[in-house]
Amino acid sequence: MPGDARTIYYLGKEHMELIGSNPVAEMRARPEGPGAYHLKKSLEFYKMRSGMEVMLPDDDRVDEERYWAMLKAAEICERWLYDSNCCLDYWGQAWKLDPPRADAPFYIGQHYRLRRDGANAVKYLRKTKRLVMPHRNNYQWPYLYECLRHVELVRAGSNMVADFAVSGGAWKDIKDSYSIAMKNCPGEDTHGLNLSFNQAKARRDKSRQEKKTKGKGKGKAKDAAGTSRVIGNEDDEDEEALSNKVAGKKQSGQVGIVKSKASQSEGGGEREKQEERQGNRKGEVENVRPKMVDENGNLVDIPTEEEEAAADAAATVAAKGSKKKKKKNQKGEF
């Protein structure tokens, strides 16, 4: 029947079964092979069914067929078309349609883990760890809840292309998932998981050290003496050592004050003597006359204004006497 949701879903499913063993090669071939045609038609019908809302019976809370159409569309986009935007879009739609189910966030986390994006992988896989498998009428996947989500979370915390910080909460979830996986999963799924766990632990240790170092560089504290210092410049200093250091400063300050008072009382007379000596020296300095070199090359005192005035007056009198004597001599000659 045209427009029937169930028919459209199964058309997508039948085309998926006809894509062959290597639809990617058939899509690259020129002309394209039949597998490429069926892959495109399957995606077309799954997308169509994803956009259809139907009336549900009273006992059905979620359109499970629509939910799985979204997951199938995302699988085609990721696995054969290498279209990250498309697959993340349809996984996101599925998660929004049925939030209690772990399938969609699990696929998102696995997608990031396969691309070695550890930060996003851990982020989404941690969400799946908190989910309990809800009651649904069709298409349940118990093994996802029992084993696979835990294995993927441990793997996501191991070495990735880009380094990332593992928080305390993330590390707790990784440890719990590791214990559950080793208990619930068969050997083929946990092979090498201990190595992934050790790598995740190393990343957590590194994250803690980096956080500690960063905190040391940023924090500031004021000690009791009122001076500011940067926390963490002392590698092994704790609060007790810091308080002891402050107490020591207080004690040394108090001792210094007592010593200062004692020295003031004992040395009062000495200070008076010292001031007297300084006063005498000052008087001596003030009595020292500045010097000059006279016309004969002798070092003499620079005359004061009064001395200069007296010298000028004496020179004037001497000049007048010299003129008179010269006139007398001239008269005697005639």
Give the ranges where the chain is alpha helix by DSSP (H). 5-17, 23-28, 34-50, 64-79, 84-97, 103-114, 118-129, 142-143, 149-156, 168-184, 187-190, 193-218, 239-266, 268-287, 305-333
83-123 pLDDT, tens digit each: 999 999 999 999 999 999 999 999 999 999 999 999 999 99
Side chain identity, residue 268 = G
Given a contact cutoff of 8 angstroms between Cβ atoms, the answer to whether 29 and 9 are in contact is no
Closest CA to 39 of 24, 49, 28, 29: 24
Q: How confident is residue 258, by pLDDT bands cut at 50, 70 and 90?
A: very low
Q: How confident is residue 239, by pLDDT bands cut at 50, 70 and 90?
A: very low
Is the pLDDT assigned to residue 179 strictly greater than 80?
A: yes
Closest CA to 176 of 212, 140, 125: 125
Q: How confident is residue 273, by pLDDT bands cut at 50, 70 and 90?
A: low
302 Cβ contact list (under 8 Å, min separation 6): 289, 290, 291, 292
pTM of the full structure? 0.64
Q: How confident is residue 305, by pLDDT bands cut at 50, 70 and 90?
A: low
25-43 pLDDT, tens digit each: 999 999 999 999 999 999 9
Given a contact cutoff of 8 angstroms between Cβ atoms, the answer to whether 203 and 166 are in contact is yes
Is the pLDDT assigned to residue 252 strictly greater than 80?
A: no
What is the predicted pLDDT for the residue at 163?
Answer: 82
DSSP sequence for 236-274 = T--HHHHHHHHHHHHHHHHHHHHHHHHHHHHTHHHHHHH
